[in-house]
Amino acid sequence: MTRTFRDGYMGMPPEDASRTQLTGLHTTQDAYGVKVDDTLNPIVNFYGDTVPTDDCLFWYDPNLDGVISGSTVKNGIDPNNASQNGTWSSTPSTGTDSGKTYWDISTHRLDVGPSNGYGFTTGTSNAFTVFTNFKRDSMTNSQWILFDYDGTFDGSSSTDRGIFCHLWSDSRLYFDTNADGGAYNRTYTGSVLSTNTWYTLILTQSGGTKSIYLNNSSKSTTSSNSNRTSLTLGSAVGKLGCPYGTSVDSKFTVFGAYNKVLNSTERQALHNAISV
C-alpha cells in the first residue's frame, strides 16, 4: 500500500476536486509528470526523496515539521489521521546531534494508534520492517517497541509480544514476535552494542524468518520457537520509547515501520537518511 499526499497540488484540474483521481499516487510528478513540491510529505521534506516511503505504515519523528504539538506526535506518513496520533505519557526533553533532533527517553512512553490499526499484514503471510535510530546512555534492561497480540497489555510475554524489541543490559538485541498465548518467536544477537554510539536498527520479518541489521550490517543471530510463524495483533495501542519496566536511558531520533521487508537498496537508503 502506498501512502498518498493529495492536498494542495498546484494546477489540480477541476475533475480532481473530489480528490479521488490521485488515489495510489505518491507525488505530484506521478500525477502530472511535473514535480512541483512535496512539502506536504514531511518525511520527504526533511530526509529527501531517496528515503523509501512506499508501504510505510508509521513514522514518528521529532525532526518533521508540523507533526508535534505539546505531548502529541502525529504519524509523519499519515499526519491527518488523528486515530494514529501518538501521546507521550510525559514529554521527553530533546536535543540535537549532527543536525538531527532526538528524544532523550528514560521512562517516557509514546502511546500511538491501535496495534491492529496500521495495516500490518497478519497471519503467516506477514512481511514487515520496523526501525529506529538510537544511542544508549547506559545498558539498562529496556525496550523500544511493543505492539500487542491479544488487545490487553498484561505483562505476559506470551500474550503481549506481537512485535517487541529489547535493548538489553547484556548488549544484545532481542526481537520477539508472533506471540500466540503460549509462546513467542525470538531472535537475538550476540553482544553488539556500546554506550555513547549512534546506531540505526532495522528489523525485518517474513512469516517466522527474521533479520537484524545494525548500521545496515546483518548481525549473526540465534532463534527459538521459530515454528511460531503467524502474526496476530490486537486492539491495544502500540507503545514506543519505554513501553514498560525499567528506564530506557537512550536517545532516539525516529520510530517507524513498513508493511514489507525492505530490500537491500531500500535498507541502505533508509540507513543513510536516518543515521546520525
pLDDT of residue 67: 97
pLDDT of residue 196: 97
Which residues in the chain come in under a pLDDT of 70?
1-40
Q: Which of 66, 163, 161 is nearest to 118 (CA)?
A: 163
Alpha carbons 178 and 160: distance in angstroms, whole number: 9
Those residues whose C-beta lies under 8 Å from the C-beta of residue 149, and which sit 6 or more positions away, are 159, 160, 161, 162, 179, 180, 181, 232, 233, 234
Alpha carbons 85 and 113: distance in angstroms, whole number: 7
pLDDT of residue 36: 40
pLDDT of residue 103: 98
Do residues 132 and 145 lie in contact, with contact meaning Cβ atoms separated by under 8 Å?
yes
CA 225, chain centre distance (Å): 24
pLDDT of residue 141: 85
pLDDT of residue 22: 42
